[in-house]
Amino acid sequence: MKLRVIVTLKNGVLDPQGKAIQHALAGLGFDGVEDVRAGKIFELEVAEGTSDAAIEEMCRKLLANTVIENYRIERA
Amino acid sequence: MKLRVIVTLKNGVLDPQGKAIQHALAGLGFDGVEDVRAGKIFELEVAEGTSDAAIEEMCRKLLANTVIENYRIERA
Which ipTM was obtained for this model?
Answer: 0.91
Phi and psi at residue A48, in whole multiples of 5°?
-55, 140
- Predicted confidence (pLDDT) per residue in A10-51, tens digit: 999 999 999 999 999 999 999 999 999 999 999 999 999 999
Overall domain count for chain A: 1
- Predicted confidence (pLDDT) per residue in B2-42, tens digit: 999 999 999 999 999 999 999 999 999 999 999 999 999 99
Residues 6+ apart with CB under 8 A from B3: B43, B44, B46, B55, B73, B74, B75, B76
A74 touches chain B (CB under 8 A): no
Q: Bridge partners of B44?
A: A36, B3
- Predicted confidence (pLDDT) per residue in B6-15, tens digit: 999 999 999 9
| Residue span of the structural domain in which B48 resides | 2-75
CATH code (residue A45):
3.30.1280.10
- Sign (positive or negative) of CA dihedral B42, B43, B45, B51: positive
**Residue ranges of B 26-65 with Cβ closer than 8 A to chain A:** 28, 30-47, 50, 54, 57-58, 61-63
Which residues of chain A neighbour B58 with C-beta distances below 8 Å? Answer: 25, 28, 30, 33
Q: pLDDT-derived band of residue A3, with 50, 70 and 90 as boundaries?
A: very high
